[in-house]
Structure 1
C-alpha cells in the first residue's frame, strides 16, 4: 500500500475515533485498530497523538484550496465562485461532523485549543486572503488588513452557513440559497471596500 493511501486511511480512522470517543478518549491504539494498520506503522507516520490530530484538523479544515470558476470574468464573480467552492468543501457532512467533534472537545482539551490556535494564526496558503491581496494591489488599496477582511467576508458567508448547519436549521441549505446569499454578501463587501477607498 502506498504511503499516501496509508496516510489517508489513518486520518480517516482518526476522524472516526475523534467523533466517537472525543480527543481524551481517542488513543493511538484505537486509531490503529480502526484503520487496520499496526501501531508501528501509525507511529512511523505520526510520532504522537497530538501531531496526528493536528494534521487531521489542518488537512480537513484549514488546508482547503477553493478555486475560482474558470468562467468568472468580474471580481464579483471570481470572489463569489471562490466562496461557494469553499462552502461546498467545508459543508460536506464529514467535515461538519469533524467541526462538531472539535467544538465539543475544545472546551475540555487544552491540546485541541492549542491546535486550533496554531492553525488559525498560520498559513500563507489562504486562497481567500490571496485573492483579496491581489484585488487590493490591483485597485491601489494600500495598507489594508487583508486577514481581518478575509475573516469578515468568511463570517458573512461560509461561517454563517457553518453556524446554520451546526445549529440544525429547520431547512437545510440549498445550493441556490448558498449562491444567492454569497453573491449578496460579496456585493455588499466590495461596495464597502470602494466606499472606504474612494477613487
Structure 2
C-alpha cells in the first residue's frame, strides 16, 4: 500500500475515532485498530496523538482549496463561485460531523482549543483572501485589511451556512439557497467595498 493511501486511511480512522470517542477517549490504539494499520506504522507517520489530530483538523477543515468556476465572467461571478465551492466542501456530511465533534471537545480539551487557535480560517493557502487581495490590487484599494474582509465575507456566507446546518431549528441550506444567499452577499459586499474611502 502506498504511503499516501496509508496516510489517508489513518486520517479517516482518526476522524471516526474522534467523532465516536472524543479527543480524550481517542487513543493511538483505537486509531490503529480502526484503520487496520499497526501502531508502528501509525507512529512512523504521526509521532503523537496531538500531531495526528492537528493534521486531521487542519487538512479537513482549514486547508480547503475552492476554485473559481471556469465560466465566471465578472468579479461577482468569480467570488460567488469561489464561495459556493468552499461551502460545498465544508458542508459535506463528514466535515460537518467533524465540526460537531470539535465543538463538543473545545470546552473539555485544552489540546483541541490550542489546535483550533493555532489554525487560520482557510489554512495556509487561503483562496478567499488571495482572491480579495488580487481584486483589491486590481481596483486600487488598500490591501492591509484583507484578513478582516475575508472573515467578514466568510461569515456572511459559508459561516452562516455552517451555523444553519449545525442548528437543530432549521434544515441545512439547499443548493439553491446557498447560490442565492452567496450571490446577494457578494453583491452587497463588493458594492460596500467600492464605497469605502481609500485607507479604510
- Give 2:37's aligned residue: 37
> What is the match of residue 10 of structure 2?
10
> Is the Cα–Cα contact under 8 Å of residues 133 and 143 in structure 2 kept in the other structure?
no
| 2:148 alignment counterpart | 148
Q: Does 1:22 align with 2:41?
A: no
Residue correspondences, number: 198
8 and 27 in structure 1: CA distance in 2 versus 1, 3 angstrom threshold: same
| Unmatched runs of 5 consecutive residues or more in structure 1 | none
- 1:53 corresponds in structure 2 to 53
Q: Give, in whole Å, the separation in 2 of the partners of 1:170 and 1:123.
A: 29
1:5-33 CA-to-partner distances (Å, cap 9, x unmatched) read 00000000000000000000000000000
Answer yes or no: is 1:74 the counterpart of 2:74.
yes
Aligned match of 2:89: 89
Q: In 2, Cα distance between the equivalents of 1:138 and 1:115?
A: 35
Aligned-CA RMSD value: 1.3
Q: State the alpha-carbon separation in 1 of the partners of residues 95 and 121 from structure 2.
A: 20
Equivalent residues of 2:62, 2:122 under 8 A apart: no
In 2, Cα distance between equivalents of 1:34 and 1:67: 33
3-state SS of 2:119 partner? helix
Give the equivalent residue in structure 2 for 1:99: 99
- Residue 142 of structure 1: CA displacement? 1.7
TM-score (norm 1): 0.96
Name the CA shift for 1:142/1:170 in 2 (closer, same or farther; >3 Å): closer
Unaligned runs of at least 5 residues, structure 2: none
Using the size of structure 2 for normalisation, the TM-score is 0.96
Give the Cα separation in 2 of the matches to 1:182 and 1:79: 9
CA distance in 1, matches of 2:41, 2:151: 38
How far is the alpha carbon of 1:121 from its aligned partner?
A: 7.0
Q: Which residue of 2 aligns with 1:131?
A: 131
